[in-house]
Chain A
Amino acid sequence: MSAVNTWNSTQHFWLIILGFCVAFVPRFLPLMLFTKRAIPEWFNEWMKFVPVSLFTALVVKDVFIDSATYQIIFTHFSEMIAAVIVVVIAYRTRSMAISVITGLIAVFLLSMFIA
């Protein structure tokens, strides 16, 4: 998180508009279609695995991939330990707020002791 972004507000604005389009279409289209006709089974079965695959990929990127070189690294010890803590807390409490706040506190404390 060191590099500073050089985009200006107009570029940010277009990013928001494009982001809105890709966020809106997957929410609206199925609602529009499937309130009128039945959902194809295979589509549902496939979509079931998209979130879990994507979230895992994103976590791996955050914890194990260097954002500058895209090489795999195993030196983010505080994030690794905090990640395990978050999983346990999420599993036990099923509360989003508690999980996220515990994770933040854990990574803050751990990063003071481990580099």
Chain B
Amino acid sequence: MNKRRPNPKQVPDPNEPLWRSTLRVAMPLNLSYIPIGLACGILLHAAGFNTLLTGLVSILIFSGGAQFLIATMLTINSPLLSIVLMLFFLELRYALLSSSLSPYLKGQSNRFLFAFAISLNDENYAINYLKFATDKKWTGKEALMVEHYSLLFWAVSNVIGSLIGSALKIDLGVVNFALTALFLYMIVMQIKNRLTIVICLVSGVLAAVCMMLTKSTLGLVISTIIASLIGFFLETTLRKHLPASHWLWKLRSPGAKKSTVESESDAN
């Protein structure tokens, strides 16, 4: 019997240049960056950023959540320190992402790691992590190319959004909901077991209480630290004493199989 039936999707054209095969992998993500990048550019423009600075922030910070947060906090006139502190906690999650990619990037030069870290992002992380885990030929070089493609699409969409914002009058309350929707999406993607849902509720209540007490967004930082520590201790305790607890049961989503990465095969 023929053990290996040739699958047109899994055997790429060997003559296909590298820039095209990596672009094909990055394309679903690139396209989804366009609407979000536009919304982000519009909001940054409304917060007072000029087009040049909008381009700069999307290249240097390259994080949808962080850029939306900058825009929102500027419009409510938060002090600089409060914004930077909030950004720090928002970006702290990248410590987790880059630690989990580190086994695949062993032996790379520091210069490569520097370039890789600059353009690392939630979404290109998801693509590269899956590629590293499933494709033996996937190396740091390809991963970096995917990052650069997504960075290019993100920055261009932001700049165009900024230009749209200066040309048209747009209801910002509606555009601002893009951020809330983005965070809701990321929460849903993070939910692995029932305990995570409990932590969500704890964090939500704590956030409301802390913000009312501190009368500032510092409450968000405090509630995040407390809630994540509660989660950490609860999980450690449950694992130790009740390893079969139903709070640790994995949750599966109906759409789990069709991730952003796998939908690349639909795109071509």
Asked whether B120 lies within 8 Å of A57 as measured between CB atoms, the reply is no
Identify B181's interface contact among A13, A46, A71, A99, CB under 8 A: A99
Asked whether A22 lies within 8 Å of B91 as measured between CB atoms, the reply is yes
Interface of A is mostly: helix
Asked whether B211 lies within 8 Å of A1 as measured between CB atoms, the reply is no
Interface of B is mostly: helix
Identify B46's interface contact among A1, A60, A102, CB under 8 A: A1
Bound Cα distance from A17 to B113, whole angstroms: 20
Closest to A34 in B: B102
Bound Cα distance from A104 to B175, whole angstroms: 7
Q: A56-B207, A70-B211 given as contacts; is B49 within 8 A of A104 (CB)?
A: no
Count, A-B residue pairs, CB within 8 A = 321
**Complex interface residues of chain B between 147 and 195 (CB less than 8 A to chain A):** 171-191
Q: Please give, as numbers and ranges, the residues of chain A lying within 8 Å of B117 by CB-CB distance.
A: 24, 27-28, 31-32
Q: A19-B57, A31-B117, A86-B184 given as contacts; is B32 within 8 A of A95 (CB)?
A: yes
Closest to A28 in B: B117
Asked whether B105 lies within 8 Å of A46 as measured between CB atoms, the reply is no
Q: Which of B7-15, B16-24, B75-83, B241-249 lines the interface with chain A?
A: B75-83
Asked whether A96 lies within 8 Å of B228 as measured between CB atoms, the reply is no
Closest to B222 in A: A57
Q: Please give, as numbers and ranges, the residues of chain A lying within 8 Å of B254 by CB-CB distance.
A: 91-92
Asked whether A94 lies within 8 Å of B101 as measured between CB atoms, the reply is no
Q: Is B223 an interface residue (CB 8 A)?
A: yes
9 of the cross-chain contacts (CB-CB < 8 Å) are A4-B48, A50-B89, A51-B96, A52-B187, A59-B184, A62-B183, A95-B32, A104-B181, A107-B177
Known pairs A49-B199, A52-B191, A91-B188 / 16 extra A-B pairs, C-beta < 8 Å: A1-B173, A7-B74, A15-B70, A18-B80, A19-B70, A27-B117, A39-B99, A39-B102, A52-B187, A53-B199, A53-B224, A55-B190, A60-B204, A70-B214, A86-B185, A96-B182
Task: Give residues in A with beta carbon < 8 Å to B.
Answer: 1, 3-7, 9, 11-20, 22-24, 26-35, 39, 42-65, 67-68, 70-72, 79, 82-83, 86-87, 90-97, 99-104, 107-108, 111
